[in-house]
Amino acid sequence: MPDPSTSPVDEFLATTPRLSEPVFVPPLPARREGTLKYIVLFLLTLWSATYVGQMHYVSFSVGFSDRQLLLTAGQLAVRGFWYSVPVLLILGSHEFGHYFACRYYGVDASLPYFLPMPMVLTGTLGAVIRIRQPIPTKRALFDIGIAGPIAGFVVAIPLLLLGMYLSNVVPIPPQFRGTVIEFGEPLLFKAAEWIRFGAIADGYTVNMHPMVFAAWFGMLATALNLFPLGQLDGGHISYAVLGHRSTTVTFATVLCLVTLTVFVSHSWVIWTVLSVAMLIVFGPRHPRVWDEHMPLDRTRLWLAAFAVLMFVLCFTPAPLEIKDIVPGVHV
């Protein structure tokens, strides 16, 4: 006979077995799909990046001189590979870092989608993978999030050093007049520049080899992805380390982006708008994992600190600035 002082809910809880360990739900099997679309997008991105790479090579070869390049279209296209191959290596390493980490944890994910864009300075909008199912644990989330930036960073460093070796320092002619695009120099870029050339005198500038620009774009992509925001790599890392407190970091990051856009460089405006749109569409809170309150191990906390270091080394407050140079005045 049931105890009248006991509610039905209490009876249910008393008779229901309690689990001392979380229930493991096996991941869904990875779906089989064709690779044609990935190959087509990669080839289109290789073409668009090579097309832009030709312009970078012409700019590097001419510098501020009146030199004329006597190259056939085929020869110039081959020179474009100096940019396109390194930039796709960096972007591809980043995305395959995520992809293989997903494979390791049994998380269904697509191969990298390379995104062509021939009419911009980079020749590509980067690359992405699509993760098709929730990531179950903090360790898996952290490892998948950080694998991409580390892989891209490790590939970018030797390419930056080699490209800087192939670069040279040229004088800015006193009579030169025109509009130039000035690229912000991250700390890692400045270090490689100093190792190669030392202090650069006034009136001179580094004439960047196309491979240097590929490494520069790779560093920029790494910094953008490491912003502790939403579904970005940095957002995954922040949530894995801080749990629900990462939402506060997300709002602080958006505030920093708005501040950078208004007071430092208008080149941040597109990224700021995209970040705000991402928060509106997906919400400011990171999707939860079942072990949210379990702390990460010390090794992963050290890797999180390394992610902060990568961000500092690859970040630049003003990525792109348009400057007018007039005779006798150099900036």
Residues 21-77 have pLDDT tens digits of 444 444 555 566 789 999 999 999 999 999 999 999 999 998 877 777 778 889 999
pLDDT of res. 319: 92
Its pTM stands at 0.86
d(CA 255, CA 246): 14
pLDDT tens string 242-287: 998 999 999 999 999 999 999 999 999 999 999 999 989 988 899 8
The residue segments making up the domain with residue 184 are 34-325
| Residue 73 resides in a domain | yes
| Residue 18 resides in a domain | no
d(CA 102, CA 145): 10
Of 275 and 14, the one with more pLDDT: 275
Least confident of 84-88, 288-292, 319-323: 319-323
| pLDDT higher than threshold 50 for residue 11 | no
| Residue 50 resides in a domain | yes
| pLDDT higher than threshold 80 for residue 92 | yes
d(CA 255, CA 253): 5
Cβ-proximal residues to 35 (8 Å cutoff; 6+ apart), any chain: 111
| Residue 253 resides in a domain | yes
| pLDDT higher than threshold 60 for residue 331 | no
Looking up tokens 């005198």, which residue turns up? 201
- Percent of the chain whose pLDDT exceeds 70: 87
pLDDT of res. 30: 52
Residue 216 — pLDDT band, cuts 50, 70, 90?
very high
pLDDT tens string 103-129: 999 999 999 999 999 877 899 999 999
DSSP state of 329: B
Residues paired with 320 in a beta bridge:
183
Q: Is the dihedral of CA 213, 214, 217, 219 positive or negative?
A: negative
| Residue 16 resides in a domain | no
Of 119 and 11, the one with more pLDDT: 119
- The domain total for the chain is 1
Alpha carbon of 145 to those of 52, 126, 304, 305, 307: distances in Å? 30, 17, 10, 14, 10
Of 16 and 184, the one with more pLDDT: 184
pLDDT of res. 1: 41
| Residue 256 resides in a domain | yes
| Residue 8 resides in a domain | no
Q: Is the dihedral of CA 254, 127, 305, 317 positive or negative?
A: negative
| Residue 24 resides in a domain | no
